[in-house]
Amino acid sequence: MKKIIYVGICLLSLSFFSCDGDDVDDVACEVSEGTLETVAEEAFDAWEDDKEDDDKCNNAKEAIEEYNELECAEDGKFALELAELFLNCPDA
């Protein structure tokens, strides 16, 4: 969760250093997409290593959902992983 907040702060700082708003949006989304993709992959891998840990399951689900909320996110990415999490997370 701390990584997600850090990414948000970095994205906000990008908006102050660009001259063109469209460039900021594109770059910010690309940076967010790459970062959140990595966070989602790491969270899912951590849960796969310890499927009994409910916190890891919910963290992975939240990370994937946050990735999917991006406008520039790849459609359908993590669909199978998310389905597995919904079947296994107690708070899903």
Q: Are 8 and 42 in contact (CB under 8 A)?
A: no
Helix (H, G, I), strand (E, B) or coil at 76: coil
Q: Closest Cα partner for 38 from 75, 10, 66, 79?
A: 66
Q: Are 39 and 47 in contact (CB under 8 A)?
A: no
Query: What is the rounded average pLDDT of the residues 6-12?
Result: 59
How much is the pLDDT for 22? Answer: 57
- What is the overall mean pLDDT for the chain? 82
Distance of alpha carbon 21 from alpha carbon 50, whole angstroms: 43
Whether 61 has a pLDDT exceeding 80, the answer reads: yes
How much is the pLDDT for 92? Answer: 53
- Per-residue pLDDT reduced to its tens digit, 20-53: 555 656 787 888 899 999 999 999 999 999 999 9
Q: Closest Cα partner for 86 from 63, 67, 58, 48?
A: 58
Whether 56 has a pLDDT exceeding 70, the answer reads: yes
